Amino acid sequence: MNADLKDILFLDIETVGCADDYTKLSERLKTQWARKASFFKRETGQTDEDLFHEKAGIYAEFGKIVVIAIGKYTETEDGTLGIKTKYFADHDEKRLLSEFYEALEKMGTAVRLCAHNGKEFDFPYMCRRMLVNGIQLPSVLNLAGKKPWEIAHLDTLELWKFGDYKHYTSLDLLATIFDIPTSKGVMDGSMVSKVYYQQGDLKKIAEYCVGDVLAIAQLYLKMKGMPLVDTVNITSS
């Protein structure tokens, strides 16, 4: 396997608001949400409660993680490149994050994390939720005291920017222009909260999340000028 492809762990997370109903929040948390929501643009008549259901999952202080999907490159006996995926899904966020922590620690210090917009969203969100749940940060996510060049994080959005820091490009758009299959036909990010709280369908969310991980892993190959992995060489565990 190409040395540049070894030890990369691709990941994506799916998040929802910390409660299915705004009225279930403590008064202290409602006050803090009102302060947060005061900075949002509002449609006419849109209340703090409306904004909570729409946006809370984006913020680690008001949301929770329900799925983490991961993927790694593999190699067949004849040297063909493949991708293997796995997901962690649980209504109990602490249990979910504890399982993910254990998986990361088993991979050792050589692992490099890669996500799309991971440096701005996935990585810090996971760190914040781990701390809220009283879970020690795994070494690969614990950045305290590390110099920039010691941080083994990759980000396909950052790679695509080529130094253009004002530029944002969605994973879906990049998958489209590189002709990479995605799970967007099944659902999209705006539907996660509804599928979770109204349907309770964690498996559907997990499958969607795995689709994004596959898209990120395939996109990384395209950014290296390499061909996509054939679907017959994509497996799950």
Q: 192 exposed, middle or buried (CB, 10 Å; 0-12, 13-18, 19+)?
A: buried
| pLDDT value of residue 22 | 92
| pLDDT value of residue 190 | 82
| pLDDT value of residue 216 | 97
| pLDDT value of residue 2 | 82
What is the layout of strands, in order, in the sheet containing 234-236?
153-155, 112-115, 8-17, 63-75, 81-89, 234-236
The tens-digit pLDDT sequence of the chain (237 residues) is: 787 898 999 999 999 999 999 999 999 999 999 999 998 888 888 899 999 999 999 999 999 999 999 999 999 888 899 999 999 999 999 999 999 999 999 988 789 999 999 999 999 999 999 999 999 999 889 887 777 767 779 999 999 999 887 788 999 999 999 999 886 667 888 889 999 999 999 999 999 999 999 999 999 999 999 999 999 999 998
| pLDDT value of residue 144 | 78
Secondary structure, 3-state, 13-27: EEEEECCCCHHHCCH
| pLDDT value of residue 149 | 67
Spatial contact of 228 and 180, defined as CB atoms under 8 Å apart: yes
- Which residue in 39, 77, 12, 21 sits closest to 210, CA to CA? 12
Distances, alpha carbon 161 to alpha carbons 117, 168, 179, 187, 237, in Å? 11, 8, 19, 26, 33
Enumerate the β-bridge partners of residue 85.
71, 236
| pLDDT value of residue 109 | 78
Q: Which CATH number fits domain 3-18+62-225: 3.30.1490.100, 3.30.420.10, 3.40.50.720, 2.60.40.420?
A: 3.30.420.10
Count of residues in the chain: 237
| pLDDT value of residue 163 | 85
Residues near 133 by beta carbon (within 8 Å), at least 6 away in sequence: 93, 94, 97
- Which residue in 43, 18, 13 sits closest to 33, CA to CA? 18
